[in-house]
Structure 1
Amino acid sequence: MTEEVELGQPHTLRCEVIFDVEEKSSRKVQWFMYFGGDIQKMTLLHMEQAQEKQMFPKVEVTQKSIIKEVTPQHLKHTYICFASNAVGNDNVTIKLQKKMQVKWPSLVGYPFACFLLVAGLGIIVHVKWLELQLIFRSHFGKLDGEEKQFDIFVSYVWTVPSAEEANGLSPSSKPYTETGGCKSNKKMQSSEGPIEKLLPQVLEDQWGYRVCLLERDILPGGAYTNDVVLTINSSRMLICVLSTEYFANSNAVFVLESGVKALLQKSAPKMLLIWTGGTSSSFIQPEPPLPKLVQRALKVLPSLQTSTDTSPTAIRSFWTSLQKAMPAHGARLASQDI
């Protein structure tokens, strides 16, 4: 037989033998131990007082030997319970085996860890739900089939022109042709201007989009907030040209915030941010602080960064990226160079 034991714990060797009742008792039950398979060198173990239970015409004898503390050495020993009387004798051999302990803390810990994982994911999703919605609607949302008054609503605040802000982009030359090629340096250098001036011209005059500019296309005298909301809902896409001056202008920030709110609706327009003058979402610290909704949206909305590099490659890269971000239908690209 094999009995499982725990190291460092006590263990009781228990032997139960049933004898026939004898007129003169000769029954004997003993525990022996030997090591290394040499049965000739058995050692008698210390035993408790034998207990007898009368079951006429039988008698049951229980003999115990207690190991006070199980050590690895005990696992190498062989234990024999030897029973004898006047009729004959019998024995049983026992080996001790280390008990495979079930790690209850782990079994309990796995469900608890799973619970913490699910709860943690739930908290993250709850906290980041707004960002997740904006990401999904920005990258995977589809424009509805409703006809809009404008293709692009461009929102910007004029900045002081400089050589860096000009970016070498020419309003009178075509920066990105129908075939995706970059025009010659001669045509690209015909004139320069800030992105706030170039963008509407390129979108409208060269790419054929219906562009809306607040100062040009919205009649004066109306309620500004209503005009902004109606214009956003009447456009297929909102482009915000972001700069330090933009964030310092409460009206411009209102346009941006209204665009984010519209994006969270089912029939939302697309949004694109164009960062200028070295600004980015990680460095802007306007006064007063931006609304929380805008701060969170700036981190996840699709965006482009104008480069201070005036090389043809950098210019072409910006306009190519902008072209790809435009709505897939509704654009009427110029068929020939201007």
Structure 2
Amino acid sequence: MGSAGCSQVSWHLVFLVLCLFVTGLVDGFNERHPQGPRLIIGVVRSAYEGNYTCIVTFKDHGRTYNLTRTVKMKVVGSPNKALPPQFTSPNEKVVYELEAGDDLVLPCEVFFTFLKDSRTEVWWTIDGKNTDDIMDVKVTQSEIPRRFEDKTIIRTLTVAKATPEDLKRNYTCYARNARGEGHSQAIVRMKVAAPKYTVELACGLGATILLVVVLIVIYHVYWLEMVLFYRAHFGTDETILDGKEYDVYVSYARNAEEEEFVLLTLRGVLENEFGYKLCIFDRDSLPGGIVTDETLSFIQKSQRLLVVLSPNYVMQGTQALLELKAGLENMASKGNIKVILVQYKVIKKSKVKELKQAKAALTIIKWKGEKSKFPKGRFWKELQLELPVKKIIRSSSLDGQEPSYVSLRNV
């Protein structure tokens, strides 16, 4: 009897059996068929592995007897495709980096193809000396079977509490079968100790991060002051040779409350404290002129149009709406004037198309009553940021101190 392994061993497998009545049991198999007293397997496959039984029937003195014999077939690898040992680990891609005192564990994994009557050997050497001759190392071995009698052998070398000298040695795994011998060296390195100045580096990095966070917070809180400081010291005066007669034209609703806010509050700070030249129609226009023509002329002569928004401002047919439309049209077409929106009072609903467009496109500076009266407050800083850059030369008082801002409460 014989055995063969899939298509790797042989294309034909012949069973020599002493039987004559096997044909009826193997009908319908294309690759396995009887030929006289023999069973022919044309192509050996792994699924054909198992037990094959031959049955012989004969009669003696009128009685029928059956004789059987069973043959077990094992499918193994073809010797034509057998290879020398194949190393999975160690290899050049894996580095074993340890500190002194750690356990050094080195697995050697080798794949062997099936070879009949071939020995498979795996062993470790340390600096060229076989570990069987070294007493202070531990070697364990395990075997993993594969298909067709192939197998993987894992031989693990362990050096307990490796010293710096142990981590500098040469660890090489060898393997051998009838096809040849091979070896693979494990790359072992001592882990570089962290530098002593790690704490200093961590402190420096932490201080840098803290400084960045502080600067971000300072910028977020004081960005207005920083921008105004830069404008005051490094900005170019926009009012020099600009061809404009006025810095700001003020547009507001003509009633007692808004007039008081414009003439006392806005004018008092912008002209007296910031040095801007304001154009207020009711104050600067000549009597007897045409309102529309004079309004458009004043807007043409100004760098900014400051609009004081309130519910009275959006009433249809007022001069204030004429000023707003003229300013927006000039800003959109010629671009020689910029519109500034100051919300004096909240406008709940408005059907004025130009005002809706302006509120959607422009920043609105909100007046908050008593909170906004102090000239160094946020309202005035936001407003000054929208106004032209203008250099203001202040004369020192007799005692050498800077003149203080006039409190609006005293106006």
Task: Please give the TM-score of this superposition, normalised by the length of structure 2.
Answer: 0.36
| Greater RCO, 1 or 2 (C-alpha within 8 Å, sep 6+) | 1
Larger gyration radius, structure 1 or structure 2: 2
**What TM-score results when the alignment is normalised by the length of structure 1?**
0.43
Q: Which has the higher strand share?
A: 2
